[in-house]
Structures are given as C-alpha cells and as structure tokens.
C-alpha cells in the first residue's frame, strides 16, 4: 500500500514539473492551402480561417497533440467559378469541414513526424506527414505539407475541357499558436 502511494505521489510530482500548455491558433497569421494540377494549369486555394489547438510540453518544448479544423467554403482560389464548382464537387453543405486530429507526434528538435486522422468529404483516414516546429517569442509556428488523393476520399475529380485534374492535391499549412 505504501509503495503504491509512493508511486502515485511520484507520478503526480513528475506531472507537476512537466506542465502541458494548450494554445489556440492565431487566425490572422495562419493558413491552410491546397494545390491542384490540371494539364492546362495549376492553382492554389487558401483558407485563412483556421481553427486549431496544440498541446505543448512546455518544459521540453515538444508538441504533444494538435487538432485542426477549417470550413471547406473558406478556401479561395481567386476564381469564383472554380471555387463554386469545388463546393459543389466537395458537397460542402453535407460535409462542411475538413479536420485533422493527431494520434502521435515524434519531435526531434524542429522536425516533426506526425500521425493522425484526416476527415475530408465525410471520410476519415489515417495519414502521416513531416512538419516543422519553430519557437517564437510568445508562441510557436508549425508548418508542413502532405498529399491527399481525391479518389481515396470519394471526391469526383473536376474536369476542364474533358480532362480531369490530377488525383493528388497537396495540402500545405502554416499555423501560429499563442497562449
């Protein structure tokens, strides 16, 4: 009994020394974008209305968890016709958000190896990608990119002049977090 109490006491003491800090994204400084390719042109859509939370081991300065959410309708490719068609193809009324929740993060200095679940077009799939962690004066910046197959998420690839866009799009992110 005494040993159990000592172990619990030790665990609580260690937890008190290693606090975790939860931080929200700074919307005006954060963005998520997608880049797509068609044989006739490339384009990028940017969403600057990113909702994200990170849990940071403040003592070790390591990212423990992250969750990100953005409205599909928030992406702007600077072509309203293309954006309207994307909303239709992505069924944005039925599936209004794209979301990511980490399941594990391994950090070596500024390099991150992130595993988690991406929910897109109503389908959740595990993904893994590399990212970068940068400590700022009062917060942190996390950035990186990863490929997404439209077909894996049951998205009908848009076509132009009877030619479909490439299946793979690239998702890039730059998210700034502050306490």
DSSP-assigned letters across all residues of the chain: -HHHHHHHHHHHHHHHHS-EEEEEE-GGG-EEEEEEEETTEEEEEEE---EEEEEEETTTTEEEEEEEEEEGGG-B-S-HHHHHHHHHHTTTTTS-EEEEEEEEEEEETTEEEEEEEEEETTEEEEEEEEEEEEE-SSSEEEEEEEEEETGGGTPPPPEETTEEPPSEEEEEEEEEEE-
Instruction: Look up the CATH architecture of domain 19-178.
Output: Beta Barrel (2.40)
The pTM for the full model equals: 0.84
> 129-142: per-residue pLDDT in tens?
999 999 888 889 99
* Domain residue spans of the chain: 19-178
pLDDT of 170 over the 50 cut? yes
Q: What is the pLDDT of residue 9?
A: 40
> 39-76: per-residue pLDDT in tens?
888 989 999 999 999 998 978 788 999 999 999 999 99
pLDDT of 17 over the 90 cut? no
């Amino acid at each position: 009994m005494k040993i159990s109490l000592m172990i619990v006491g030790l665990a609580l003491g260690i937890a008190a020394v290693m606090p975790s800090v939860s931080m929200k994204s700074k919307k005006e400084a954060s963005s998520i974008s997608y880049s797509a390719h068609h044989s006739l042109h490339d384009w990028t859509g940017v969403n600057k209305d990113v909702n994200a939370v990170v849990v940071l081991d403040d003592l070790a300065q390591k990212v423990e968890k992250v969750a990100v959410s953005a409205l599909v309708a928030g992406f702007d490719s600077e072509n309203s016709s293309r954006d309207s068609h994307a909303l239709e193809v992505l069924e944005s009324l039925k599936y209004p958000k794209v979301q990511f929740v980490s399941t594990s993060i391994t950090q070596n200095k500024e390099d991150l190896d992130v595993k988690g679940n991406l929910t897109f077009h109503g389908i959740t799939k595990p993904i893994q990608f590399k990212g970068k962690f940068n400590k700022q004066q009062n917060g942190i910046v996390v950035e990186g990119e990863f490929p997404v197959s439209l077909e894996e998420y049951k998205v009908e690839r848009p076509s132009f002049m009877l030619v479909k866009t490439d299946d793979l799009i690239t998702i890039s992110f730059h998210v700034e977090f502050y306490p």
